[in-house]
Each structure stands twice: as C-alpha cells, then as structure tokens.
Structure 1
Amino acid sequence: MNAAPPKPVERRLPSDEARELLALTRELVHRELLPRAAEDEAAGRFPREVFRTLGEAGLLSLPYPEAVGGGDQPYEVYLQVLEELAAGWLAIGLGTSVHTLSCHALATFGSPEQRERWLPGMLGGEQLGAYCLSEPQSGSDAAALRTRADREGAEYVLRGTKAWITHGGRADFYSSIVRTGEDGPRGISCLLVPGDAEHLSAAPPEHKMGMNSSPTAQLHFDGVRVAADRLVGEEGQGFQIALAALDSGRLGIAACAIGLAQAALDQAVEYAGTRQQFGRPIADFQGLSFMLADMATQIEAGRALYLAAACRRDEGLAFSKQAAMAKLFCTDTAMRVTTDAVQVLGGYGYTQDFPAERFMREAKVLQIVEGTNQIQRLVIGRHLTRG
C-alpha cells in the first residue's frame, strides 16, 4: 500500500517564491514519488530519473547562489523543501540532502574556474553527487582517515577505501576527503573525483534494514588518477571543508527526519479516525488520542528547532551547536513517532500492507548518519563546556 499524500503543513515562508517552491515540491511528491515509493523500496530500485526531474525543476540547487547556477534560496526554505520530499519518500529526501552536501565543497571553497566548469551540471541534476568521508576504520573520528592521494606531476593518485557512501557506485562525482600529507587533520585535502574514473570501483551495496532504493556501498580507490586541478581549496584544507559541510548536512538530516515523522503521524491519524472498536473510532479513546498529541507536539518542536538553526545559518551566525541539537532531537523524534505509528495501527502496523513499518525501519538510520546521536551529544556538550 502506498502512503497517503502528506497533509499540507502550515508554514512560515519568507516570500511568494518560497510558497511557489513548496507548492511545486508537493505536486512532484504526489505525481513522481508517492505512486512508486513502496514498490521501488521493496524491489531495491534506485530511482535515478527522479533526481533528474528534481534537477530540471530547480530543486537540487536551492541553497546555492544564483551566480553559480543555484536557486539563491535561504536555508530555511531549502530545508522545508527537503522535509516535503522526505515525507513522500525518505530515499529521495535524504538523497537530495547528500547531493547538496556533495556540492558544498566546490560551491564554497572552489575557485571561480572550477565552479564555472563543474557546478552547472551538478546543480542542474545532470550530475548526481556523493560525499566520501567515512572509512571502514574511521567514521566519527574523521581525522584518522587513511585513504591517500599522492601528488605525481599534474595528477593525484588515490589509494584506499571509503565506506557507507550514499549513491556509492551510482554517483557521477565524489567529493572525496583524502590524506595528502601528515597524520591528523592538517594532512587532509578535498578532491573532486569523477564517477567514471579508471580504477575506481564500488563493492556490492550493503543489505540494509531500510532505504533499499538508496544504494550504500564501499568505494575502492586502486590507483585512481585525478587531475590536480580537481583539488578543491588548498592542500591541508580538507578537514575544514568537511566540517563546514557536515554542519549544514546535519540540518538536512533533521529536516528529513521531521518529514518522515510527519508522514507517519498523518497515517496514524487517518487510521485512528476510521478504525472502529466498541462502536466508535479508536481516536476517541483517551490513551490513543494522547499518543497522537505527543507525536504531533514532538514534530512541531523538531520543526521549530531545525528552522531556528537554519535562520542562524542564513544570518551568518554560528550554528554548529544548533545543528547538532536539531539533528539529535529531530531524528530521535522520528524514531519515537514512527514506532508509535506502528503501535496505533496495531497488527496492521506490523505488516507491509501499510507503510508504517517501512517508516519505522527507515527512521533508525537517521539516528546514525552524519554523525551518530551520541556524537551529537558530544558536540553539544563541548560547546557548552568550552564556550
């Protein structure tokens, strides 16, 4: 059974253009995502053409300046578009967030020549991106990464393995954080690696609990040669580039989490209003109505938190702590709400006849990606105690 169309959320938007963007996003969700999400997830099909459609509609370029081919929208608007996409199909919402993350290095730290050469294809949807930071032995401890890029004349030669790469093996380019120098963060750089580079290969996709239509795979760099003009920023600047991207990426995950939670709540409310027990809808029973009320309150709180962090980003203020808080709270909320949605549906919630069980499986990964929620607590704690 396909998920019901998400109910329009009452939103505070800064412009008529933003309202039109949200309306366009909802239309695309209803037309392109909802009719196929359940079937593609069950079959493990990667919907590459959907990202082309989003690119043609201008939805893959929203937070970037118009001067580089972007939509020139504030992060506050971009994140609400992500939420709408994730409410229709998490794999598309999260995939859009990952693509935006993969463009961040070039758009923010690239030279004018690099941006002019590569960004239009990225932001227009012709080129789908992936972000390569994690490795089999270094996840949250990114400074310990081992994949090397050694300079040989006008090229870098890459050797090593990246892990947990969304769109791994299917992306057209990989924003790759690699070691070009000494141990530790100062020896790390960023290279833009073409997806069709010789000696670059992907392992078979991971067999995951959910998000089956979004491939996640290891990437093997076995002497991959990359032209030196694909170095983004300066040598040794890669760790700074990675951290700058992650703060923004965490807000993307927070927005996706709230979208998924909203979809689960909408289904629970619809079911509770139609399911009859003891001669009346189960929504009339206090125990269940209180559960729905808590679900709705947590979603509203999460939405307010990620939007507050986005506004700080838009205003040029520090937002690292707020991004960690938003990622932590919103993804924990998604896990609670989807679990409760399964409970509201009872036995039906445990079957694949309704999308509630898929929502619950998908929610779990959001507590892990872009830094586990334990790492978010560590980040928040350090901000509080170190100023």
Structure 2
Amino acid sequence: MSTVAPSDWTTRPAPEGPQGWIERATEVAAVLATDAAARDRAGATPYDEVRLLKDSGLVTLLGPVGHGGGGQDWPTAYRVIREVSKADGSIGQLLGYHYLWNWAARLVGTREQWEAVEAEAARQRWFFGGAVNPRDKDVVVRDEGGTLVLSGRKSFSTGSKVSDVTVLEGVLEGTDSHVFAIVPSDSDGLTFHGDWDNIGQRLTESGSVTLDGVRVPWSAAAGYVDKAFRPRVYNTLNVPTIQLVFARFYLGIAAGALETAAVYTRTKARSWLHGGHERAADEPYVIDTYGDLTAKLWAAEALADRVAGEGQRLHDAPDAVTEQDRGEFEVRVAAVKARATEVALEVTNRIFEVTGARSTASAEGLDRFWRNVRTHTLHDPVAYKRREVGRFVLDGALPEPTWYS
C-alpha cells in the first residue's frame, strides 16, 4: 500500500476542531484510495492500514485531550468514518468499530474504569477490536475469587487480529449476567482464527475467536462494583450508537461508489452508438441517474447528521438519559439505518447502468462497493428496523432494548 511518511502527520500539530479532523480523514482516504481495489482482491490482513489510522491520529479522535486525544464528539466521528469509508469500506468499518469499543468502557463501566481506559488508549494510540457477537452464547465466565476466567468461542471478532486490545463478552456462570472486559489482544488463551472469507468487507478480520481460559481481574469487569453490576439506561445506548456507525460506513461506501463511477463515466465510458451524443456524460439518462442517486444519498446523509446531533445530547448527559429518551432515539436511528441500507444498495448497484459493460472488469474494482454494502447490511434484518418505526408511529411503542434494538 502506498503510504504517507509518518513524519507527514507525526511532526504536524493535531487537527483542530471538527473540520480539521474531517480533513485529516480525507487525507487518509486519499492514501487508501490509491490501491483500494488491489488490496480488496488480495484480502491481506490490514496491518499497514491500521498503522495509517494510528499515525494519522484518527484512532484518538474521541479520546481526552489531556492525554493526547482529539476530544471530539460522535457527530464528528461519524463524519470521519464516512470519509474513510468512501475509499475503503473495510477500513471504515474497522475505524467505526474501534470508536465504539473505545467508548464501550464509558457506556458500560464505572467512571474510574472508563477514565483509566480512555486515558491509556489515547496515550498509547490503542486500536480496539471486539468479540461481542450476541448470537453466540457459548462464552462462559467463571468466578475464581478475585479473577474471572473466560472460555468459549465467538463466530465473529471484527478487528481483533490487528488490534492492541479486544473487548470480550460472556455470561457469568450460573446467572444471566453479561460481563464485558477489555484485554490485551495477545492475552494467553485468546486465539483469532483468521477465517473471515466473505464476498465483501474482506479486510475487516471478522473471523472467529476461541477463548481458552482467558483470565482477567474482577476489577476489569465493566460496570461491576463488589461483583454486582450497576445498571443505567445509558448502558443500552450501545445499540443505537453502533447502528449509526453502520449507517455511516454504508453511506460512505455509497458516496465513494458514486465518485468513482463519475470519474469512470467522464474518462472511460463510451456513449451509446444510437444515442446521438459524443460523450457518455452527455447522455440524458446518465445525467438523470447521477442526479437521482445523488439526491437520495444527500437526503440520507442529512437525516443521519440530524440524528447524530440528537444522540450527542444523550452522550453529553449520560446519567440523565431516560427510557423514553433512549427509545425515541432508537426509533430515529432505526429510520436512518433503513434509509442508509436502501440507498447504499441502490447506489452501488445502479452505478453500472451509467458506466457500462466494460466497467465490470475486475481491474476496475467497481463491484467492491456493492459487495461491501451487501455483506454488512445483512448484519441484522432491516425489516425489523422499519418495524420499530412503524410500531412507534401507530402505537407509540418504544423498542425494547435488546442486542439489536
């Protein structure tokens, strides 16, 4: 991968304000875009790409300024995810998940826990992975006095193979209580199998992981005090937050697809021999299609921006979040997820209508945009997101907090 020399970023001051960080993300995206199609075909473990995120400082975006972090908010993080995803959907997903796992200590943990995690993460520029697939319930957490021992398997562990630390989750033996803990990714007993082999998001290292007696102190169990969990409504904000992350890299991938297709249309596409136009870019149906897809994308982005702002108000006052606040926010997020899914699938599919048969050549790599969106949008059925919105409109019903709502 072509890279910017580390001194280009490490010797420059950190970006200032949201726009500065978005511009930094645009610089990172420009590097990733130079060989995105080739890296997608190769499917190699993205060590260099994660180093790029670290060197650029993007991994510290949400961290405390006093410890070297960017001190930015979630609306800025979502914009950064979108910019990176325009060039490479896999790396956009990795960055988005990193932000959530970095924030997970704040969502679930005690103030003492999350302050310690965020400070160290910013100082060391940790990259976070996570093995928290909620559909796998075979990780058992055994209490051995002052130590917890985690054993079992997770089908998915996005980013963990290239991470410094991994968020683990399991069920405390003999109870229904879930335990979250952050551990070094090279911990004894933690094995990442590197078996992610899907049609899209190929560089996300989302393969399975085995936990064979991974030991953590009770003090690492997020949100537990004297072996008892202290719940807050704010704990349940993890789902709408990650769903907004999903929507942002879907829309970023769609934006990248449109930009890449437009360049192809202007420079390589041939006009239809019976259309009466010298350039493909002058074909009325081509112009109409780009206008239609862009309008739909801009509308989805505007909704996502609006809802991100609504969510930030909850993040700014976590102890004041009520069940009503959380439920209404989840409904709004569900609407964003539904529209982002539909728009991204349409954009990444229909770009071929305005680029032509030759654009399907493997060397062009235009198919990666659709493959990436199609793969991840199956994470959870979008019909259930529309149902959340519909039930709220018809009955005023709020979604019950679950692992997916």
Provide the TM-score with structure 1 as the length reference: 0.84
Bigger shift: 223-232 or 196-205? 196-205
Distance 1:215 1:16, change over 3 A: closer
Aligned partners of 2:199, 2:231: CA distance in 1, in Å? 32
Deviation, 1:90, is 1.1
Deviation, 1:60, is 1.8
- Residue identity opposite 1:363 in structure 2: V
For residues 78-124 of structure 1, give each alpha carbon's deviation from its aligned partner in whole angstroms, at most 9, with x where no partner exists.
21111110001111111100111111221344345434543344345
Aligned partners of 1:49, 1:124: CA distance in 2, in Å? 20
Deviation, 1:367, is 0.9
Provide the residue aligned with 1:269 in structure 2: 262
Identity, % of aligned positions: 21
Distance 1:25 1:82, change over 3 A: same
Provide the residue aligned with 1:75 in structure 2: 74
For residues 17-46 of structure 1, give each alpha carbon's deviation from its aligned partner in whole angstroms, at most 9, with x where no partner exists.
22222222212222x312232222211122
Bigger shift: 298-307 or 56-65? 56-65
For residues 40-87 of structure 1, give each alpha carbon's deviation from its aligned partner in whole angstroms, at most 9, with x where no partner exists.
221112222333332343322323554675422232222111111000
The count of residues paired between Structure 1 and Structure 2 equals 363
For residues 262-292 of structure 1, give each alpha carbon's deviation from its aligned partner in whole angstroms, at most 9, with x where no partner exists.
1111122233334332342223223222221
SS at match of 1:165: coil
Aligned partners of 1:179, 1:51: CA distance in 2, in Å? 31
SS at match of 2:215: strand
Aligned partners of 1:125, 1:255: CA distance in 2, in Å? 26
Which of 213, 231, 237 matches 1:223?
A: 213
Q: Which runs of 5+ in 2 are unaligned?
A: 3-14, 315-324, 399-405
SS at match of 1:276: coil
Say whether the 8 Å CA contact 1:52–1:126 is kept in structure 2.
no
Provide the residue aligned with 2:50 in structure 1: 51
Distance 1:315 1:243, change over 3 A: closer
Provide the residue aligned with 1:5 in structure 2: none
RMSD: 2.7
SS at match of 2:343: helix
SS at match of 2:199: coil
Provide the residue aligned with 2:293 in structure 1: 295
Say whether the 8 Å CA contact 1:181–1:236 is kept in structure 2.
no
SS at match of 2:219: helix
Distance 1:41 1:77, change over 3 A: same
Deviation, 1:175, is 1.4
Deviation, 1:241, is 7.3
For residues 103-158 of structure 1, give each alpha carbon's deviation from its aligned partner in whole angstroms, at most 9, with x where no partner exists.
122134434543454334434564221222215xx26xxxxx33211110111111
Say whether the 8 Å CA contact 1:177–1:239 is kept in structure 2.
no
Which of 210, 213, 218 matches 2:200?
A: 210
Provide the residue aligned with 1:362 in structure 2: 372
Say whether the 8 Å CA contact 1:332–1:367 is kept in structure 2.
no
Aligned partners of 1:345, 1:110: CA distance in 2, in Å? 50
Q: How does 1:91-110 map to 2 (within 5 A)?
A: 91-110=90-109
Distance 1:237 1:92, change over 3 A: farther
Aligned partners of 1:241, 1:169: CA distance in 2, in Å? 29
For residues 311-356 of structure 1, give each alpha carbon's deviation from its aligned partner in whole angstroms, at most 9, with x where no partner exists.
1012236422222221221122111101011232222232212131
Provide the residue aligned with 1:372 in structure 2: 381
Distance 1:372 1:68, change over 3 A: farther
Aligned partners of 1:203, 1:216: CA distance in 2, in Å? 10
- Residue identity opposite 2:298 in structure 1: E
Provide the residue aligned with 2:281 in structure 1: 283
Distance 1:169 1:28, change over 3 A: closer
Provide the residue aligned with 1:19 in structure 2: 19
Say whether the 8 Å CA contact 2:128–2:160 is kept in structure 1.
no
Aligned partners of 1:172, 1:133: CA distance in 2, in Å? 16
Provide the residue aligned with 1:196 in structure 2: 186
Provide the residue aligned with 2:306 in structure 1: 308
Provide the TM-score with structure 2 as the length reference: 0.81
Provide the residue aligned with 2:143 in structure 1: 151
Say whether the 8 Å CA contact 1:68–1:115 is kept in structure 2.
no
Deviation, 1:238, is 8.2
SS at match of 1:201: strand
Aligned partners of 1:261, 1:17: CA distance in 2, in Å? 26
Distance 1:242 1:92, change over 3 A: farther
Note if 1:339 corresponds to 2:349.
yes
Distance 1:216 1:115, change over 3 A: same
Deviation, 1:236, is 4.5
Aligned partners of 1:350, 1:215: CA distance in 2, in Å? 26
Say whether the 8 Å CA contact 2:60–2:125 is kept in structure 1.
no
Say whether the 8 Å CA contact 2:151–2:211 is kept in structure 1.
yes
Provide the residue aligned with 1:165 in structure 2: 157
Say whether the 8 Å CA contact 1:250–1:323 is kept in structure 2.
yes
Aligned partners of 1:52, 1:361: CA distance in 2, in Å? 25
Aligned partners of 1:239, 1:360: CA distance in 2, in Å? 39
Provide the residue aligned with 2:322 in structure 1: none
- Residue identity opposite 1:340 in structure 2: R
- Residue identity opposite 1:26 in structure 2: T
Say whether the 8 Å CA contact 2:360–2:367 is kept in structure 1.
yes
Deviation, 1:161, is 1.2
Distance 1:361 1:130, change over 3 A: same
